């Protein structure tokens, strides 16, 4: 599962996200024993209707500490499900799908986004499916320092602590143009959301998790350009995503330097997802081909990513990871299958001519 193949084909579209050049710790397989444990807890949680978060998590800590005594070697409270998850920019697209998947797995989720009404409707529809006391929502513009601080205090009020913080909020202003034609507002929005917002969120998340007995894990979502492949037509977006991966790397080094043991930074690569962000760029023939071949709907991606994300705190390791949905092998096999199976995936999402 820990695939780190390198793609070097120049024919691959720049839209292809999978990271290859940087060397990271290969992702560890979930502990075999723990898989079972995971499943059993899933059943129990789903059998309980409307569980009270505080008391239930308290009992879980007790139970789990018996099961996984070996993980709590360094005096830190072991991190056991259900996890408290915070996802930024999670009222649509990947963020929403991730939130849904975490809820399915029995975790508690805080969602947020810029628009109050989208938060309201998203919380409403999630509560219909998963019950009242499992999901909370608030408005937060990640570009504003105060908003992010408010988000943290909101999370502390509702859930006391956060185990998994996913920095998902991102924007490309839904425009794919050469830089010389891009507008001021678009460029500023892209950079401030993707770069500034991410930095503010990372800072607040680290600050919050340093004081948590359970520690925490921060996941930054990468994107096109984070592997250093050129991203013409969305140069500003690519630049911010490359800087996001670099930020993760620098912060990992920083945390290590400061000898922080309870906070870990990770990268998360969703590959190509059929959200508004990607589909607004489906204008050229090449882009359409790659979207049809490689892109997946957010639900599919989330279904793959969430168990992998959950396995990170579950196996107790604080090593940095890089979780990828679209690995090199996968991308290649899909491209070849299209070539040989005469267009099995043709015209899947957008019409090619």
Interface with other proteins by CB under 8 A: which residues?
22, 145-146, 178-180, 182, 184, 187-188, 191-192, 195-196, 199-200, 202-203, 206-207, 210, 225, 228-236, 238-247, 249-254, 256-258
Question: Please, what is the minimum distance in Å from the beta carbon of residue 139 to other proteins?
Answer: 18
Give 122 or 173: the residue with its C-beta nearer to other proteins: 173
Give 108 or 194: the residue with its C-beta nearer to other proteins: 194
Question: Please, what is the minimum distance in Å from the beta carbon of residue 49 to other proteins?
Answer: 41
CB-based burial label for 230 (10 Å; 0-12, 13-18, 19+): exposed
Decide: 277 and 171 in contact? Cβ < 8 Å: yes
132 DSSP 8-state letter: G
Rounded distance between C-alpha atoms, residue 346 and residue 330, angstroms: 17
Rounded distance between C-alpha atoms, residue 97 and residue 103, angstroms: 10
Give 121 or 211: the residue with its C-beta nearer to other proteins: 211
Q: Count CB neighbours of 203 within 10 A.
A: 14
Question: Please, what is the minimum distance in Å from the beta carbon of residue 230 to other proteins?
Answer: 4
- 209 sits in which H/E element: helix 198-210
In the three-class reduction of DSSP (H, G, I as helix; E, B as strand; rest coil), residue 77 is classed as: coil
Question: What token pair was written down for 247?
Answer: 């930020």
In the three-class reduction of DSSP (H, G, I as helix; E, B as strand; rest coil), residue 325 is classed as: coil
Give 169 or 244: the residue with its C-beta nearer to other proteins: 244
**Catalytic option among 237, 304, 322, 349:** 237
Rounded distance between C-alpha atoms, residue 169 and residue 124, angstroms: 20
Question: Please, what is the minimum distance in Å from the beta carbon of residue 238 to other proteins?
Answer: 5
- Please state, in angstroms and as integers, the Cα–Cα distance from residue 98 to each residue in 49, 234, 307, following that order: 21, 25, 10
Active site annotation includes 237: yes
Question: Please, what is the minimum distance in Å from the beta carbon of residue 245 to other proteins?
Answer: 8
Give 235 or 314: the residue with its C-beta nearer to other proteins: 235
Q: Which residue from 294, 67, 309 is spatially nearest to 167, judged by alpha carbons?
A: 309
Name the residues annotated as catalytic. 237
């Amino acid at each position: 599962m820990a695939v780190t193949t390198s793609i070097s084909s120049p024919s691959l579209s720049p839209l292809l996200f999978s990271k290859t050049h940087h060397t990271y710790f290969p992702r560890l397989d979930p502990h075999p024993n723990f898989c079972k444990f995971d499943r059993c807890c899933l059943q129990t949680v789903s059998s309980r209707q409307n569980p009270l978060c505080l008391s239930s998590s308290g009992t879980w800590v007790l139970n789990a500490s018996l099961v996984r005594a070996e993980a709590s070697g360094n005096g830190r409270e072991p991190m056991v499900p259900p996890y408290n998850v915070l996802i930024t920019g999670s009222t649509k697209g990947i963020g929403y799908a991730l939130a849904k998947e975490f809820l399915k797995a029995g975790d508690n989720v805080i969602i947020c986004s810029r628009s109050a009404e989208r938060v309201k409707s998203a919380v409403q529809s999630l509560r219909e499916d998963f019950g009242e006391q499992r999901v909370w929502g608030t408005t937060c513009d990640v570009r504003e320092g105060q908003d992010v601080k408010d988000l943290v205090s909101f999370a502390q009020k509702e859930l006391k602590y956060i185990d998994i913080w996913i920095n998902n909020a991102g924007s490309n202003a839904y425009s794919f143009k050469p830089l010389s034609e891009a507008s001021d507002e678009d460029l500023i929005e892209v950079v401030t959301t993707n770069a500034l917002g991410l930095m503010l969120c990372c800072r607040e998340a680290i600050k919050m998790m340093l004081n948590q007995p359970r520690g925490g894990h921060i996941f930054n979502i990468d994107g096109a350009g984070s592997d250093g492949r050129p991203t013409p037509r969305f140069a500003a977006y690519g630049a911010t995503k490359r800087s996001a991966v670099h930020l993760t790397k620098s912060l990992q080094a920083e945390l290590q330097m400061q000898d922080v043991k309870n906070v870990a930074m990770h990268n998360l690569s969703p590959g190509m997802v059929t959200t508004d962000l990607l589909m607004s760029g489906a204008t050229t023939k090449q882009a359409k081909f790659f979207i049809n071949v490689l892109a997946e709907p957010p639900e599919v991606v989330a279904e793959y990513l969430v168990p992998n994300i959950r396995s990170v705190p579950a196996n107790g390791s604080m090593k940095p990871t890089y979780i990828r949905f679209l690995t090199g092998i996968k991308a290649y096999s899909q491209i070849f299958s299209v070539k040989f199976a005469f267009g099995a995936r043709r015209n899947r999402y957008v019409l090619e001519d």
